[in-house]
Amino acid sequence: QVQLVQSGAEVKKPGSSVKVSCKASGDTFSSFGISWVRQAPGQGLEWMGEIIPMFGTTHYVENSQGRVTITADESSNTVYMELSSLRSEDTAVYYCARDLRDDHSSFNWFDPWGQGTLVIVSS
């Protein structure tokens, strides 16, 4: 059974970057994709992007303006999400989640999820 454990909360200044980690256990890491989804305070959920370590491929939400970078370290079963040029609107809980799809779907749903990492952007 896959478990995802994320790094701890961060407080960052506007304009800086943050790198959040997500360590997977319980299954072959490279056999599935990992997505990042964020949730601003009191708001809904927004998919940010994914990595598929087996193929070394990444996909990002179309309005990310190149600020999101997702990488993977297969030796440690860890995925990283780096968000640059931080602004106050980036204050949110960031979740990693495993991608799941069936034989006929082009895209995926998410299960399980990490516990979430709160990132606060404040001067």
Partner 1 sequence: DIQMTQSPSTLSASVGDRVTITCRASQSINTWLAWYQQKPGKAPNLLIYKASSLEGGVPSRFSGSGSGTEFTLTISGLQPDDFATYYCQEYNSYSRTFGQGTKVEIK
Residue ranges that bind partner 1, judged by CB under 8 A:
35, 44-47, 59, 61-62, 95, 97, 100-102, 105-116
Helices (H) and strands (E) in the chain, counts: 0, 11
Nearest Cα residue to 58 out of 21, 29, 33: 33
CB of residue 40 to partner 1, shortest distance in Å: 12
CB closer to partner 1, 86 vs 93: 93
**Shorter beta-carbon distance to partner 1: residue 46 or 73:** 46
Name the minimum Å distance from CB 15 to partner 1: 27
Under a CB-based contact definition with an 8 Å cutoff, are residues 76 and 53 in contact?
no
Nearest approach in angstroms of CB 105 to partner 1 is 6
Residue type, 5: V
| Residue placing its CB nearer to partner 1 in the complex, 35 or 77 | 35
Beta carbon of residue 109, minimum distance to partner 1 (angstroms, whole number) = 4
Bridge pairing between strands 92-100 and 34-39: antiparallel
Q: Which residue has the tokens 């056999």?
A: 31
